[in-house]
Structure 1
Amino acid sequence: MKAFFDLKTHQFGSPKIQTVSTPNCTTNASSVKKVPAFTVYLLERRINCMTIPAIVEAIQKACIESRKITVANTNIHSFNLSMQFPWFYEFLQSSEIVHCDSVGILKAISYMGLNLPLDYRASYSLLMPKILENCNHNRFSVFLLGAEPQYLKAALEKLRASYPNVSFAGHHGYFDQEDPIENQAVIQQINQVKPNILLMGMGMPVQEYWVKKHRNNLQVNAILLGGAIIDRMAGVVPDCPSYISNVGLEWLYRLWREPKRLAARYLLGNPAFVLHVMLAKFYANSLRVERM
């Protein structure tokens, strides 16, 4: 019998899952209390199982307290990258939050013995509007880094119209990331603004590598790794319909939209992920849970 997490009693339904007690680091919002946050280690890859309200609260708290946090995410593609590149694995492990951005990850956790509801899927199409609403309420500032210049401009125009209390700025992603002078110019532009939130939209793993190199020099409160989020805000890339994404087929929708760019990621990456998880099923401690 598979384990499950009872949202009413806040108890895990199986003694087979290894759990470790840790100090409570959830927020006081009542909506967050209903679905507690905890950490899952899937093949020793850390995943913070947090609802969208909990993530928004954590970002807000970092902005108010003038702290710096990195909010990364895990999906099948990032999981595969963490298996290929040690630096990417270390980046995820060192990030303050690594939220679940994929139904496929939830299904893998379920296969390992821990059933979790969709409340713990925090895809950017669902998460970003809530973050921006919070920024608008608190008059936070947001800097967008990534996308082509014309798409960045379109995204900024739409965002300024939709969230008038937020101060938006940005820089396109088409600069030489190996050129120290160009990188320093971009960092100086960000630090002149000193935004509460830096939203990266360079794609994975380019954005993670850039943040890894320059995180210490960035004067921001929360760094968010958003992939194609700027293109989505500009209206270039449409969001996947919820009835498709809720059953774990967003990858198929995106493959249909961009077959040339995404064929290798999904047609090779998805089977590789499934194989990793299936093989891991036979090893001890392939899934660990830490209470938060």
Structure 2
Amino acid sequence: MRFEEFTLVRVDVLGVQIDAVTLAEAVRTVEGFIAEGGPHLVATANAEMVMAAGRDRELARILADAALVVPDGAGVVWAARHLGQPVPERVAGFDLAEELLARAATEGWRVFFFGGAPGIAAKASEAAAAKWPGLTVAGVRDGYFAPEEAASIAAAIRASKPHILLAALGVPKQEKWLAAQATTLAVPVSMGVGGTFDVMAGVTRRAPLWMQRAGLEWLYRLGCDPKRIGRMMALPRFVMRVLAAKKH
């Protein structure tokens, strides 16, 4: 299926518009964005992000304006189905990032790795280059910087001429930074990837495949880092909001 034959369909999950796409369709959509030129923002919406958007008008606006919002998270997939607007599958941000890196290696797309603790982006890019020979790394930069450095960082990224910018700054910082710097960056595709670099660099591990398929990746993360319990409280609140929305 060529890109121009594929039409994005969005479903509403608690006020956030989610694209009902498969992983393969998301990759084809990004391929089309790169062919068109920039800028396009890709967001990976899980339950935590949806709940944050309900409190944060700026984040809500950014997601509404994003070129692609994939259903990242078992909670979002469940919610869409429960609300009568099912999406075909979960499109995890990590999986989408890996698929794009694989395509970049064969298509000659340049990728910039931005974010994470010092040294993590570099390790992630090295691991990616080893896994996908032919991958062109446009540049790397950690995510520790002062607000006044934002413009110069964006200009440096633009100068490296990437086709794809992966930003691991955490939600919602990465989405807000990418949106604010979109004009300066002029990158065809910018995507917030959260903790993806940590996994690629070998600092953390993803949940076993069976837990991913069972929608229990959140439980694995909590077991690995109990301090996430505060963030995880968004999940039961999300479920209650969805159940309440169904009644109406």
Measured against the shorter chain, the TM-score band is over 0.9
Q: 1:112, CA displacement in angstroms?
A: 1.8
Greater CA deviation, 77-86 or 151-160?
151-160
TM-score (structure 1 length as normaliser): 0.80
Report the structure number with the largest CA radius of gyration.
1
The within-5 A match list for 1:117-266 is 117=88, 120-168=89-137, 169-176=139-146, 178-179=147-148, 182-260=149-227, 262-266=228-232
Q: 1:164, CA displacement in angstroms?
A: 2.9
Q: 1:97, CA displacement in angstroms?
A: 0.5
The within-5 A match list for 1:79-90 is 79-90=50-61
Give, in whole Å, the separation in 2 of the partners of 1:116 and 1:155. 30
Q: 1:214, CA displacement in angstroms?
A: 1.1
Match of 1:102 in 2: 73
| Contact 1:146-1:200 at 8 Å conserved across structures | yes
Q: 1:37, CA displacement in angstroms?
A: 5.0
Match of 2:16 among 45, 50, 53: 45
Q: Where in structure 2 are there 5+ consecutive unaligned residues?
A: none
Give, in whole Å, the separation in 2 of the partners of 1:62 and 1:110. 28
TM-score (structure 2 length as normaliser): 0.93
Give, in whole Å, the separation in 2 of the partners of 1:156 and 1:67. 22
Asked if 1:273 is matched to 2:244, the reply is no
Q: 1:104, CA displacement in angstroms?
A: 1.0
| Amino-acid identity (%) | 28
Distance 1:158 1:88, change over 3 A: same
The runs of at least 4 aligned residues of structure 1 exceeding 3 Å deviation read: 114-117
Write out per-residue CA displacement over residues 40-72 of structure 1, whole angstroms, 9 at most, x where no aligned residue. Answer: 112331000111111111111222232321111
Amino acid at match of 2:72: D
Q: 1:232, CA displacement in angstroms?
A: 1.3
Larger proportion of helix: 2
Distance 1:215 1:37, change over 3 A: closer
Q: 1:86, CA displacement in angstroms?
A: 0.6
| Contact 1:39-1:48 at 8 Å conserved across structures | yes
Larger RCO (CA within 8 A; separation ≥ 6): 1
Amino acid at match of 1:142: V
| Contact 1:145-1:172 at 8 Å conserved across structures | yes
| Contact 1:190-1:219 at 8 Å conserved across structures | no
